[in-house]
Structure 1
Amino acid sequence: MSEHGPVSDQESIYDDTDEGKGVVRIAVVAALGGFLFGYDSAVINGAVSAVEDEFNAASAALGFAVASALLGAAAGAMIAGRIADRLGRLAVMKIAAVLFLLSAIVTGLAPNLSILVLGRIIGGVGVGMASVIAPAYIAEIAPARIRGRLASLQQLAIVTGIFISLLIDFLLARAAGGSGETLGAGLEAWRWMFLAMAVPAVIYGALAFSIPESPRFLIAAHRIADAKVILSKLLGPTRIDAKIEKIRLSMERETKPSWADLRTPAGKVATIVWVGLALSVFQQFVGINVIFYYSNILWEAVGFDEEQAFTITVISATINVLTTLIAIATVDKFGRKPLLIIGSIGMTVTLATMAYIFGTANVVDGSPVLEGAEGPIALVAANLFVVAFGMSWGPVVWVLLGEMFPNRMRAAALGLAAAAQWVANWLITVSFPSLRDISLSLAYGLYAAFALLSLLFVLKFIEETKGKQLEDMRG
């Protein structure tokens, strides 16, 4: 028996049946959107220096080019919920796959910085849509007792996509003798970094045709017979009619889904929506994506050469993958809130350490130079920061966003929260080059302050959702 009541018959069969294995396969396919999300987000890292040289970009223009995908992601997240409620969850996945493919081609063959930015925005829309639909879909098809583990597959896919993109960047740059050097077909290595995304985009789109529609969407669309068939395959035939009726009652409405669902009867935005927005903003304001978007030029700025910087970045991405596995193994055992608390403490300490190291380092030509033990300490702190984030705020925020909202508002609220996350990501990403020019210590000091505030926020506002049925969530 769980702390929230007895586990249903449908849930108890999960681990031992072919139907249960089917749930895992379906969740893995849905999470592939996260792989493209991670790949598209991080691929720019290895190309930043070459793009800067190729198009003679100033710091502000470079920052915008890197962050432009995030503007598209905010837009994609905003529209994903409405498309998912009108056309279905699978339609969003297929549209996202097409956008990823277009982005790979446009960015890889861009003749100037403006076209590169356009390609990044197209890919960003796909990223935003994938960031909404994967956690929503997985939450809607997963039994409550292992929902956290399956929802964490989204973050595992994201960090795997980040790792693969950075590894491909490293291998292509090494093969060409530099990211700006010609590698094949008359194209520079950095262009192949973008073009390589076409392969997983096609795979994701094809696999989206192999999984069933969300039964909760089907029930909302009054396609009860179709929903019954899918739920029977996913959870077994026991008490399916009762389960469908409970879902139907939680989603019953006289109007079509809209932004009005985010409000209370009194007309105010529901508290749970504000909590979701704050979770999304804090996840980005700790500066995690500075590590994955700018780590190469960051480490080069403090004295490492390009190959060393690539190696450090790949190591950080590997650590990110491994620590996400920790979250998958523990999120349904220890709960969401304890992991967030531990992560906030770890991030605060490690970011403050980096701020101190950069703040006390000798400055040469306007940049800090790490000497003696300063370099290893900064590297250890940066990677421990990745550990703290990877086992907590990285996956757990996506788990919570997929499950914390009531059925009637899930897609819309998740879309709004994801859009806020991308706007926050954009603010951090576009501001870093300028902050770097002022002081790396200032940048990491700000991120440390937000990590501390995230701890206070979790302690006061986050409620545990472990083991709760989606139909029991209240706005």
Structure 2
Amino acid sequence: MENSRRRPTRLNKYALQCAILASANSMLLGYDIGVMSGAALFIKENLGISSVQEEILVGSLNVFSLFGSLAAGKTSDWIGRRYTIILAAATFLVGAILMGLAPSFAFLVAGRIVAGVGVGYSLMIAPVYTAEVSPALTRGFLTSLPEVFINVGILIGYVSNYSLGGLSPRYNWRLMLGLAGVPAVAIAAGVLAMPESPRWLVMKGRMADAKNVLLKTSETEEEAEARLTEISAAAASGGGGGGPWRGEGVWKELLCPSPPLRRILVAAIGINFFMQASGNDAVVYYTPEVFKAAGIRSRKGLAGVTVLMGIAKTFFVLVSALFLDQYGRRPLLLLGTAGMAVSLAGLGLGSRFLGRRRRKPAWAIALCVLTVCADVSFFSIGLGPITWVYSSEIFPMRVRAQGTSLAVSVNRLVSGAVSMSFLSISEKITFGGTFFVLSGMMAAATIFFYLMLPETRGKSLEEISELFDNRSSGKTATAEAD
């Protein structure tokens, strides 16, 4: 009956505008990932830092984004989703200014720590807000927009590297990093025009305000009324809707979960773990180092390869977003991780071949370029967008913000660990060996997702929780896919 009530549907323009404004915040992380891949080379030259210091510089933002992600759940339950997005942009702005003005390595790391907290807030709150404001049948597309903007930010970062790389190393990396403050200001201003999440409003007992938002994000008044009834029932059963609730008691539920909530936590933490254990962030950050080892020496050549990779990532995340609600989460996720496993194995073979020869044959370099583009493309099809969609939609309403906060904090912890150890590990076992390890990790991820993640396409947020209620094991995940 629920599905018949919601079909057919089309993309609600107001919900799309809200999703774009919220998701644009994620562009800040993407820009940092893209721009640091090139800026790190100039920082190394200008400040004379070592490879270990380079890892600290790159990874510090990811590690400290953990604290932003952990705090974002409680903050958003307290002050609301909308103001948490503004707080994220403002914090990143401060970090960008500090990085752009940094006179030393220590000052630069301090700026990245501040920016990292803002990134952590952004990565948690953007998909949660978007999931809560979106109609069920277009939620996959709308909630994947944060990853779209991350990839747009990466591409802009690559273009910034290419454009500013010809300037003196004393100034170019400062401009590259400091320019991130410009979109942060625009995003914070734009978010002021957004409405608050209707589900947060219901949890606060503000039913009239929630209905007004639902009327704008639904196609008919009947649909808005039905969504409000469903949300209100979920809030009442979860102990919300009483007015002054600010997220009290949620961490106790998360640390001592019921069997259904435990299954949700395994799924949410698992997909966030494998997203970063794929090594995607590190591959993007250190692509210039990988291709320098492969034999591409010119700065323009290195920047050109990264721009090509950025175009591939952006194109395929758009493809995934457009088909996510049509084909579902599981098929695209399994395609993405299996494709990454094969691509990383190919990249490992190419890197091992090049590492053993003084002369670098063109075909082997071409293989590495092709497979690294394939790797990031498959990531953009599967893990990239679907991690944010899935982890923001499977938690019950009462624990959604703080549950997603916990899952995303694992994401940031693993991202920081991989980014801060990638070069050191590669020095021990070579780049080829590292890529083989990552390929094995993606093979394991494919098996985990096949067994543990049920399909959520087309279901309301309130219905999705029921998928985990009566599952005695992960074996029913395959049945849910049908």
Give the TM-score, by structure 1 length. 0.92
Q: Match for 1:92 among 69, 84, 90?
A: 84
1:44 Cα shift? 1.3
**Could you tell me which residue of structure 1 aligns to residue 110 of structure 2?**
118
Residues 324-373 of structure 1, C-alpha deviations (whole Å, 9 max, x = no match): 11101211111000011111111111101111122233546xxx763241
Residues 55-97 of structure 1, C-alpha deviations (whole Å, 9 max, x = no match): 2222212101110001121111101011011110011111111
Query: What SS class does the counterpart of residue 97 from structure 2 fall into?
Result: helix
Please identify, of 383-392 and 308-317, the stretch whose mean Cα deviation from structure 2 is larger: 383-392
**Could you tell me which residue of structure 2 aligns to residue 382 of structure 1?**
372
Confirm or deny: 8 A CA contact 2:38 2:161 kept in the other structure: yes
Shift of the 265–446 alpha-carbon distance from structure 1 to 2, 3 Å rule, reads closer
Please identify, of 42-51 and 191-200, the stretch whose mean Cα deviation from structure 2 is larger: 42-51
Report the residue type matching 2:152 in the other structure: T
Confirm or deny: 8 A CA contact 2:135 2:217 kept in the other structure: no
Report the residue type matching 2:433 in the other structure: L
1:441 matches 2:425: no
Query: What SS class does the counterpart of residue 86 from structure 2 fall into?
Result: helix
1:347 matches 2:340: yes
1:301 Cα shift? 2.3
- Partner Cα separation in structure 2 for residue 369 and residue 231 of structure 1: 63
Residues 142-185 of structure 1, C-alpha deviations (whole Å, 9 max, x = no match): 100111011111111110011101111210113x1x6x1x5xxx
Confirm or deny: 8 A CA contact 2:294 2:354 kept in the other structure: no
Report the residue type matching 2:42 in the other structure: A
Report the residue type matching 1:464 in the other structure: E
- Partner Cα separation in structure 1 for residue 260 and residue 336 of structure 2: 32
Report the residue type matching 2:174 in the other structure: R
What does residue range 10-409 of structure 1 map to in structure 2 within 5 Å? Answer: 12=8, 14-15=10-11, 20-174=12-166, 176=167, 180=169, 182=170, 188-235=171-218, 236-238=220-222, 240-252=224-236, 253=239, 256-257=246-247, 258-262=250-254, 270-304=262-296, 305-363=298-356, 370-409=360-399
Shift of the 82–456 alpha-carbon distance from structure 1 to 2, 3 Å rule, reads same
Q: Which runs of 4+ in 1 moved over 3 A?
A: 11-15, 239-242, 263-269
1:461 matches 2:452: yes
Shift of the 172–131 alpha-carbon distance from structure 1 to 2, 3 Å rule, reads same
Residues 24-60 of structure 1, C-alpha deviations (whole Å, 9 max, x = no match): 1111111101111211233211111121222222221
Q: Which runs of 5+ in 2 are unaligned?
A: 469-482
Give the TM-score, by structure 2 length. 0.90
Confirm or deny: 8 A CA contact 2:99 2:174 kept in the other structure: yes
Report the residue type matching 1:205 in the other structure: A
Residues 356-400 of structure 1, C-alpha deviations (whole Å, 9 max, x = no match): 122233546xxx763241111111111111111111111111111
1:102 Cα shift? 0.7
- Partner Cα separation in structure 1 for residue 314 and residue 223 of structure 2: 38
1:302 Cα shift? 2.0
Q: Which runs of 5+ in 1 are unaligned?
A: 183-187
Percent identity, aligned pairs only, is 29
**Could you tell me which residue of structure 2 aligns to residue 185 of structure 1?**
none
* Superposition CA RMSD, Å: 1.9
- Partner Cα separation in structure 1 for residue 362 and residue 301 of structure 2: 17
1:13 Cα shift? 5.7
